[in-house]
A and B are shown apart, each in its own frame.
Chain A
Amino acid sequence: MAASPLYILLCSGEHEKLQMAAMMASVAAVSERPVEVFVSMNAILAFAKDVDPGARYQGGAFSRLLKERHAPDALTLFQQGKDLGDLKMWACSMALDVQGWDIDRLQDGLFDGALGLTKFLSDSETGQFVTL
């Protein structure tokens, strides 16, 4: 039986939550589980092309540990999930509009396009839904 798809609504810009979203998405994708990630609110700021790598991830005590221990980069984990499994990433069309951004402002190769929340919620009715 095919695994139930996993839908991740990623809103937080906190490093710890971005990292967990990337870990969940990549592991599920390589475990033959379809994954869709909808990126909105502060989370979308971490995916901008022009962010200084040192300032991309802001967080608390655990964020400092992740950096000190050289934990795998969250964006790299998302990319590996896409390369090795069925992982789609969507940029929230509202968040792009509020920022005044086109999707080209986001990291190359990660996003499958811009999407509205209504469509994402509709698609997610048949799967497991996680919010971070």
Chain B
Amino acid sequence: MADQLLDVKGLNCPLPILRAKKALKDLPIGSTLQVVATDPGAVKDFEAFCRTTGNQLVESKAEGKIFSFLIKRTA
């Protein structure tokens, strides 16, 4: 269970990343954010985003056309 849920279904690049960045900024270090998206590009985008920002992509999964990412704020 994540500390916060961010629903960005229906939003296209770059809004899911921008919304996630804003949400992470407001969370304490060590907290987790679950992002739910429908943009197919989000899978690779969130991998790259976590790699470049130093945050941890704990889980990435797809259920049909819904993509879910669990991110732990570590930076």
Contacts and interface: CB of A to CB of B under 8 A. Distances in A.
A33 B21 contact: no
Contacts, number: 37
A3 B53 CA distance: 10
B74 interface: no
A84 B53 contact: no
B29 interface: no
Contact of A84 (B12, B25, B48, B52): B25
Interface of A: 3, 23, 26-27, 30-33, 71-72, 77, 80-81, 83-85
A80 B49 contact: no
Interface of B: 12-15, 17-18, 21-22, 25, 48-49, 52-54
Contacts of B52: 3, 31-33
A105 B72 CA distance: 42
Identify whether the interface residues of B are mostly helix, strand, loop, or mixed: helix
The 10 A-B residue pairs with the shortest CB-CB distance, nearest first, are: A30-B21, A31-B52, A27-B14, A84-B21, A23-B14, A32-B53, A80-B18, A32-B52, A26-B14, A27-B17
Nearest to B21: A30
B22 A84 contact: yes
